[in-house]
Structure 1
Amino acid sequence: MGEIHDKESEAILNSLKDDFLVTDMNGVITRVTSSMKRAYDAEGETLVGRSVYELEEEGFFTPIVTPLVKTKQERVTVTQTTRTGKNFLVTGVPVYNDNGDLWRVATYSHDITELVKMRKHLEEIEGEMERVQNELAHMRHQYLEEHGFIAHSEEIKKCLETASRVAPTDVNVLLLGESGVGKTEVAKMIHKESSRADGPFIEVNCGAIPETLFEAELFGYEGGAFTGSAQKGKVGLAELAEGGTLFLDEVGELSLNHQVKVLKFIQEKQFYKVGGRKPIHVDFRLLSATNQPLEKRVSENQFREDLFYRLNVVPVRIPPLRERTADLIPLIEHFIKMFNEKYNRTCSLNDQVLQWLVRQPWPGNARELMNLLERLIVTAPSKAITTSDLPKEAAKYPNSPDPTKSLQEQLESFEAAILREAKQTVKTTTAMSDMLGISQPSVVRKLKKYNID
């Protein structure tokens, strides 16, 4: 009868899906399922009668669970590694006799080799993701350090992506946008990402140079070319751009007379100094910028059509700050940090000031925002900047924020108000786009968004 009982127990054990093993208190194996042998690659070996301590010393598997169960007198689970590199989740269960004494340790195991591999692979992926995220954060920080851009909004991202795509070429780029949007910074970015990055970046502000001196400043002059000129003459800005980038800022301010000379210079890549007779050849890449509607000026005969097309090979429009609402908070934080460091301050904005700032239209764009924040940092009587610290001229902007609404709700409310006012002033979406400085499709999309008929 005992033999029949043993066979029945053995059959039951072998029918279990789990790999099963039983040891006595000395760690000697008394029962083991055939599936356990297969799992541990020991089908041709006799495990019954062998000690788990010896098997561990031989590297069969480690760690063993029997001594842990004996010590703790409770269920114990460990992760076990076999000699073939497999991984098992092994649980040891104490078995007591009729006297309540620990009699056997029954262990069952699950093969988790694939799970361990998957976990390791997942950890590698997570590590790679962390590395990429850190690299991206570093690149964003480096991008900000090198180019001075906060680019969270899709509008500015598209602009910068276009600028980056054309940067490696020598194509002429015309940067369009209102004053203060960062046209000069984009021009510098294009230069730094171009093959001419090691060459000079020469900026010519066409609106700041007096008309009578423009040609002498751009092309230079020979000694004694005119009354008051230096005896040794002067090298012009154009000649200084050799091997680099020439940036004509505010190009829309050029007089018709100077437009002719600039066009000839761009076409031929050569010029004559004032009072000179020898042509000077210059190798440069041309970038230009304007806040004026050049096409309109062309139609009004205020700007040469041939020069416009020469400049406008690749137009890049830089959106105004009011179209970049996602960049407002990051810009504010950036400027606060920058001016705190510059002036050795530790100022911060309270919520009311912050909400007031994000409600403003900022017609002067990032430059206006930067100037105001610098003023607040310098003049604030305490570390906490409140609405009482805002300048008096702030009254021209909308009143204090509504604390019952979220920041996004207030931004949308303000944008909707601007659109309604614009629609009352002009009737067509095209006229509205000209008035607001955004594209006509953007006007249509925003009118639909706010249900403005």
Structure 2
Amino acid sequence: MDEQLRLLEMEIEGIINESSENIIVTNSEGIILRAVKNSKEMYGITSEELVGASVKELEQKKIFSPSVTLSVLQQKTPITFMQKTGAGKVIMTRGIPLFNEDNDIIRVISFSHDMTEMEELKEQYEQLQQKMMRYESEIEQLRVRGSVPADVIINSRPMQTVWELVNKVAQSDATVVLQGESGVGKTVFAKALHSGSDRREKPMIEVNCGAIPQNLFESEMFGYEPGAFTGASAKGKVGLIELADQGTLFLDEVGELPLSIQVKLLKVLQEKKITRMGSTKTRTVNFRLVAATNRNLEEMVKSGTFRDDLYYRLNVVPISIPPLRERKEDIHQLTETFLRSFNEKYVSEKTIHPSTLEAFWQHDWPGNVRELENLMERLVVTLEHKMILPEHLPFSPKRELDQVPEVDISASSLQEALEAVEKSWLLRACRNCKSTYEMAEYLGLSQPTVFRRLKKYGINSILNR
């Protein structure tokens, strides 16, 4: 009997020490009874130091954390998870309970496999993916930018159309009205109109029509002579319109102009002359007018809150800036641009995970580009993690299941129905992505697989770009 026990002991030791897995055996109290001989490399301490030790104490000392044995003893079921060890390893560990006839745990056997190299490869892959995304963004920017200012992102077709129109009218003196929701970047295009004109060396005077109190509007816009009214400066003041002489006057939120000022502004536009408050002398002014609004001026004309004659004077070249939700192809480059800018400003090294960019794609961005810019600054300033993940966002990413395309599944067979769904997803990816690499990430497939599926269904919108 003793010989049989000795042979059994030798067999067990041989299995434990020669196994490709790292094996640890504990009793029902979590005391280690056996440990593989190469444990020094895995855990940072020898097998002799492990045997007789409590897994609870070893967990507290961070020899391995968390302890799979403690979890098995508590839940009485096999458990698998990742651990970190005192030797700096990342290991996959599976704990298995052994029961006696009374269904009490008498042993816990844990099998561990070193995953450190795989985790490092995964991290390197993610870093490489980040670089590729950044390079792709920069290459695309160089391709389409030409003379485009750095703060104008025009990857999407709607924005390319806008930019082409801006380029056409920049050299003229035609009055331009930039229309669009708050935060779409109307000011950026107003500056582009000025910098692309012959007036670029002269001042561009920006006036936020919604920020100046109505009782001060006339004095701010037209200026005043010394002593023109109570509280007026003894030196008088040059008005904003006069300051824009030979340059560009940009009236932001022009829909907020009081009706009384609308009348006077119309006269200035017609006569190119102004009269300061408290003066009878007229001054000739020569400026190019650019206006912007997030309101429907045509509806305001119908309601009587905006003069029709001023509306037609302003509405020479209307340019509509699409909201961010209608030009989501720009989100990637906008994000990279803002991230790079704020990293430099705050001496940070934040990066953004691809799944976060997907969450950005799904978000509707009611605050448009301004919302994205403010969010990126907030994340760079406040986030402790280096990588920006979806859980760090103030909004919940939409589930893909909520956005499954509607397809006709009244096919004659299951295979045809599945193909209809697959083709619908591919078409959706074509609309939303700029390359087969982006489509692969979007669909969770490899790039060669996407390429083959596109050819299978004869979808060439990506292949022929």
Question: TM-score, structure 2 length as denominator?
Answer: 0.56
Q: Which runs of 5+ in 1 are unaligned?
A: 1-132, 414-453
AA aligned to 2:221 is L
Distance 1:365 1:192 in 2: 24
1:390 deviates by 1.9
The Cα RMSD (Å) is: 2.8
Using the alignment, how far apart are the partners of 1:265 and 1:308 within structure 2? 14
Residue in structure 1 matching 2:389, options 371, 386, 391: 386
2:403 corresponds to 1:398: no
- Distance in 1 (alpha carbons) for counterparts of 2:275 and 2:250: 19
Q: Distance in 2 between matches of 1:409 and 1:201?
A: 43
Paired position in structure 2 for 1:169:
172
Q: Deviations over 1:221-265 (max 9, x none)?
A: 111111111100111111111111111111101111111111111
2:294 alignment counterpart: 291
* Matched residues, number: 276
Q: Counterparts of 2:191 and 2:145 in 1: how far apart (Å)?
A: 17
Alignment of 1:20-31 (within 5 A): none
Q: Which residue of 2 aligns with 1:154?
A: 157
Could you list the structure 1 runs, at least 4 aligned residues long, displaced by more than 4 angstroms after superposition. 133-136, 399-413
Per-residue CA deviation, residues 148-201 of structure 1 (Å, 9 max, x unaligned), is: 111111101111111110111111111111111111111111111111111110
Matches within 5 A, 1:262-273: 262-273=265-276
What secondary structure does 1:143 align onto? Answer: coil
Check whether the contact 2:203–2:248 (CA below 8 A) recurs between aligned residues: yes
Name the residue aligned to 1:181.
184
- Aligned-partner Cα distance in 2 for 1:400–1:335: 26
Change (3 A) 1:179 1:407: farther
In structure 2, do the counterparts of structure 1 residues 176 and 228 end up closer, same or farther at CA, with 3 Å as the change threshold? same
1:118-146 per-residue CA deviation (whole Å, 9 max, x = no partner) reads: xxxxxxxxxxxxxxx9999388276233x
Larger Rg: 1
**Which residue matches 1:351?**
354
Contact 1:355 1:401 (8 Å CA) reproduced: no
Q: Which residue of structure 2 lines up, in the alignment, with residue 360 of structure 1?
A: 363
Partner of 1:89: none
Mapped partners of 1:297, 1:403: distance in 2: 37
- Residue aligning to 2:149: 144
Residue-by-residue CA offset, 1:338-365 (whole Å, 9 max, x unaligned):
1111111111112222211111111111
SS, match of residue 246 in structure 1: strand
Tell me the distance in 2 between the aligned counterparts of 1:372 and 1:152: 21
- How much identity, in percent, do the aligned residues show? 49
SS of alignment partner, residue 363 of structure 2:
coil
Residues 179, 186 of structure 2: 8 Å contact kept? yes
> 2:317 maps to which residue?
314
Amino acid at match of 1:167: A
Please state how far the C-alpha of 1:331 moved relative to its aligned partner.
1.0
Aligned residue in 1 for 2:33: none
Specify the SS of the correspondent of 2:153. Answer: coil
Separation in structure 2 between the aligned mates of residue 280 and residue 362 of structure 1, nearest angstrom = 45
Secondary structure (helix, strand or coil) at the match of 2:319 reads strand
Matches within 5 A, 1:65-144: 137=142, 140=145, 143-144=148-149
Amino acid at match of 2:227: G
Quick check: 2:140–2:155 contact (8 Å CA) kept in 1?
no
**Structure-2 change in CA distance of 1:135 and 1:318 (3 Å):** closer
Tell me, yes or no, if structure 1 residue 333 matches structure 2 residue 336.
yes
CA contact (8 A) 1:356 1:401 kept: no
In structure 2, relative to structure 1, the CA distance for the partners of 1:344 and 1:136 (3 Å cut) is closer
Q: Which amino acid aligns with 1:172?
A: T
Q: Secondary structure at the match of 2:270?
A: helix
Corresponding residue SS for 1:331: helix
CA distance in 1, matches of 2:228, 2:264: 18
Trace 1:252-267 onto structure 2 (pairs within 5 A): 252-267=255-270
Question: TM-score, normalised to structure 1's length?
Answer: 0.57
How many Å separate the matches in 1 of 2:274 and 2:384?
Answer: 56
Long gaps (5+) in structure 2: 1-137, 405-421, 433-465
